[in-house]
Every structure is written in C-alpha cells, then in structure tokens.
Amino acid sequence: MDGLDDDRSESGFRSRTPLSEARERFRAAVPDPDFDPVRLELAAADGRVLAAARSAARNVPDYERVAMDGYAVRAEDTFDAGARSPAVLREVEGTVEPGTARRVDTGTELPEGADAVVRIEYAEPFGGDVEITDRVTVGENVAPVGEDVARGDPLFEAGRRLGPSALGLLRSVGVERVPVAPRPTVGVVPTGEELVRADAAPGEIIETNGLTVSRFVERWGGRATHRNVVDDDPEALRVAIQRDLTKDVVVTTGGSSVGERDLLPETIEGLGEVVVHGVGIKPGYPVALGVVEGTPVIALPGYPVAAIVAANAVLRPLLAWLQGTTVETHPARTARLERKIPSEPGIRTYARVELAGSEDEDGGSNERVATPIRAGGAGVLSSAALADGWVVVSEASEGIPAGETVEVEDWEP
C-alpha cells in the first residue's frame, strides 16, 4: 500500500478528533433543522425525504380480487371434482349461483355469489358447460379485501427517503401528493490561487473539487451552487463565506490544513466558531467544521481523494440530518483481500481497491478479490475515479491482513 495517504501536512496536527465525536460536536453546534415541508406530486418526490408519516386511507385491494385466470365458482360445487370424475357446471356471465361457473381474469372483481376460483388449466369449457377437474376451497385463488394493505395500516414514518416502489404503494392507497423536506442548499467554494478552470500552465492545477463535491451534494439530496475559485486571500475568503451564509451549508475545498496558505480555519474562526479542526480519518483529516451565524461551514482538504473521503464522512450525514433522515449505508460487496491494508490505531482508514472475480447465482462472493491500489496518495484522483470501491478500516484496528474477507463499499453507486 505504498502512499496510501500522501498528505504531508499530517505532522502539523497535534490531535485528530475521532470521527464519531467530530460528528456529534458538529451537530450539537448546528441549529436543529426547521423547515416547512414542500408538497410534491408523487412523480416529483422520487428520492426526496418524507416529512410526515403516512398511513393507508383505503384497503388494497378494496374488493375481493381474482388472483388467477380461470373460473369463479362456489367451492362446494367442486367438492367431488377430480381428473376421473370432473364436476360439470353451467357457464354463466352474471351472478354465480349453485351449479354454475363464470370465466374470470386475474385482477378482476370476484363475481357475486362466487367464493373461489378454479385455475384455467383445471377447467375445460364445452357446449355451454365447464368441466372442473380440481377441487378448490373457499377463498382459494382469491385475494381478500386488504390483502396488500388494510385501511389504517402505517406505511412510512417521517424521514423515509422515497423510492419508486414506495411511490407506487402510496399511489395504490390513493395518495397523489406528499409532504417532503426541502432540499438543503449548499454553496461549494473551491479555493487556491494555483487553481484554474482549464488550460493549466506549469504550476497551475485544473480545479476539480468543486465539480466533484457539488455533484455529491446533488446525489445526497441537496442543491449545489458551484462557485468560482477564490484565491488564498483572507479578505476574499471572508467575503466568499459571507456571500453564501444565505445557504443551508457552506463548503469550501482547499486551504484547510495548517500551512502558511491554509487560511480557512482562521477565517471561519474570525467569522464564527471552529468546532473541530482535524478529524481521525485517512485520507481527509485536515477538515475543519465550523458554524458562522448559525450556518454550518465545512472546510474540506484540497487533495481530491481527501476531499471525497471527508465529504462522505461529514457532509453526507449533515445533509441527511438537515432533511430529517439518517445517512444510508453505502452498498457493499464482500471480497478476499489480496494484500495487507496498514492502518494507524485511532484513525479510520479508507483504502481504495480494485475488484476482480464474479458473483455466484445467489449473489455471494465467487473468489472475488480486492486489491489495494498502490498509487493511492490523497492527491491522486485517478486512485478514486478508477477504483471499484473502498475498504473502511476501523479506528480499533491496526490494519487488515491479506486473505481476510472484507466489505468493499461503493461510495458513488
């Protein structure tokens, strides 16, 4: 794992706050979210967070529903039916009376008088009659009223992020509009006088963090405003932060460490309060968490991979909290670790890996192998962009030896 984290500014930090403690201290310093729900039509609510609990206002189905193509019958008329001695019933089109049967399709309402359905493969029509070769019991092949959802059943609590199936269920019980949390607004401010938008000359770097972080914000339910690059100048940084205090969150990239040009922690402190500076994650520890006039301000590191890790570690859960929900776990796959991942006790390490192998029919690991990426410095963006995921090493561990089964998280599915 050569160069797992190349962030040389590590030596300037006397201590690094454990991630869980940093999150708790940051949340305690940020005012509780207070928003008016937005009512949206269901199609527009995909991916949004429900702002109030919903229960079923009606049964689904709200009638006895035919569950199989076949013939609606009175179950007692099939008591002696079998392949050798079929029951012969008269085919009708209206009410099912003793000795009759009616052709029905899946999903239609069970006809009056019927209490069961004989599947089509056990019924043979001929000359106005139907031969039934299978006995059925009362309720067989019939979906009762409320089988899917009963009136009054609780469906979703506030804080549920709505997906397509949840929207379909809400529609089935007659809901057309739902109250959802508004999307948190986020000002994303890249900083650094060496950064340019394009056509970098020697000594210049094309700015990427603003684009990357703003797209993460959108994926995590926020609304990002990607600002132009701000130079490493105290007054320019102060103005940039103050400009976006109308947002729900301000996020800067670069200038968050302890070097001569790392001016953001001091700038935030001058405007408000720095709650945490230096978090026990690697890469990404030179992150500063502050509050200015009630607005949370997150200063992410300038190294691209460190910015991605730190954004996932602190910005993602903050945006979830501001929407009234909790952060969802990243999807993960199991794999066998090809090489050791070293880690420092007390530090949560995020090691980028490549995956080889496949899944078996049950979705389990079929000799899937995770190989740590050697070009893994925090400034090497390709080590993240070309990785298949990362392995998180807990603070309690000194690393993970080769051959261990690990969880490989996909942080941008």
What are 334-363's pLDDT values in tens digits?
999 999 999 999 999 999 999 998 655 555
What are 126-176's pLDDT values in tens digits?
999 999 999 999 999 999 999 999 999 999 999 999 999 999 999 999 999
What are 79-118's pLDDT values in tens digits?
999 999 999 999 999 999 999 999 999 999 999 999 999 9
Percent of the chain whose pLDDT exceeds 70: 93
CA distance 214 to 253: 11
Query: Residue 365 above 50 pLDDT?
Result: no
Query: Residue 8 above 90 pLDDT?
Result: no
What are 313-329's pLDDT values in tens digits?
999 999 999 999 999 99
Query: Residue 9 above 70 pLDDT?
Result: no
Query: Residue 269 above 50 pLDDT?
Result: yes
- Interhelix angle 234-243/264-271, rounded to 10 degrees, is 60
Nearest to 191 by CA among 271, 266, 106, 86: 266
Distances (CA, A) of 376 to 283, 315, 391: 10, 22, 13
CA distance 288 to 17: 11
Given this model, what pLDDT does residue 227 score?
Answer: 96
Query: Residue ranges of the alpha helices (H) in 285-396?
Result: 304-310, 316-322, 382-385
What does the mean pLDDT of the chain come to?
92
Average pLDDT of span 221-241: 96
Which residue type does 300 have? Answer: L
Residue with tokens 């460490």: 257
Q: Residue 213 belongs to what H/E stretch?
A: helix 209-219
What are 37-49's pLDDT values in tens digits?
999 999 999 999 9
Encoding tokens for residue 301?
A: 């590191």
Query: Residue 261 above 80 pLDDT?
Result: no
- Distance in Å from the first CA to the final CA of the chain: 25
What are 192-219's pLDDT values in tens digits?
988 888 888 888 888 999 999 999 999 9
Nearest to 308 by CA among 352, 273, 245: 352
Classify residue 111 by its DSSP letter. Answer: P
Average pLDDT of span 228-252: 96
CA distance 20 to 35: 26
Q: Give the pairing of strands 70-73 and 38-41.
A: unpaired
Dihedrals φ, ψ of 167, to 5°? Answer: -65, -40
SS3 for 144-206, per residue?
CCCCCECCCCEEECCCCECCHHHHHHHHHCCCCEEEECCCCEEEEEEECCCEECCCCCCCCEE
Examine residue 317 and say whether the peptide bond preceding it is cis (omega within 30 degrees of 0): no
Measured from the Cβ of residue 152, the count of other Cβ atoms closer than 10 Å reads 11
Encoding tokens for residue 46?
A: 């995909």
DSSP 68-108: SSEEEE-GGGGTT--SSS-EEEEE-SS---TTEEEEE-TTS
Nearest to 220 by CA among 312, 283, 147, 128: 312
